Amino acid sequence: MKVISTIAELRTALKAERLQGKTIGLVPTMGYLHIGHMTLVRHSRAACDVTAVSIFVNPTQFGPNEDLSSYPRDMAGDLAKLKAEGVDYVFTPEVAEIYRAGANTIVENPMLSRILIGKIRPGHFRGVSTVVTKLFNIVQPDHAFLVKKIISN
């Protein structure tokens, strides 16, 4: 398992895999991995030749009154779990690597902003949509494995 923190290094590594005809799966996460994440990793490994997992606590999906600093983190534990599952690459960028100075692109989904948690957490889905779009652009996966959250009233 290779742990990579820069976009350039990850793109180079994945380009080499593609040149060998391999398919790439992406499991985007904010870390603090649980059984749901590991299930996605297993699905990726079963469907793809190469599995890349991102661990990035995305500050843009936290509102001004939400405590980004208290979001649980366990990088050592996460890496151990991913290694045990046979993950090929783990992308662990810093905030400045994902949100580079002068880059102002955002992805907005007005419908999501009006429903579910979007009603009580303004900007949350904009942050999620933006970072997932960035990760898709960086990794350019053949398949992506994401959690489907079920919300009931």
Across the chain, which distance is largest between two alpha carbons, in Å? 48
37 is known as an active-site residue: yes
Q: Distance of CA 4 to CAs 64, 73, 86, 133, Å?
A: 30, 18, 16, 19
Distance CA 8, CA 15 (A): 10
Catalytic residue among 34, 37, 43, 124: 37
Query: E-assigned strands of the chain?
Result: 2-4, 24-29, 50-55, 89-91, 143-144
Around Cβ 65, how many Cβ atoms within 10 Å?
A: 6
Residues classed as catalytic: 37
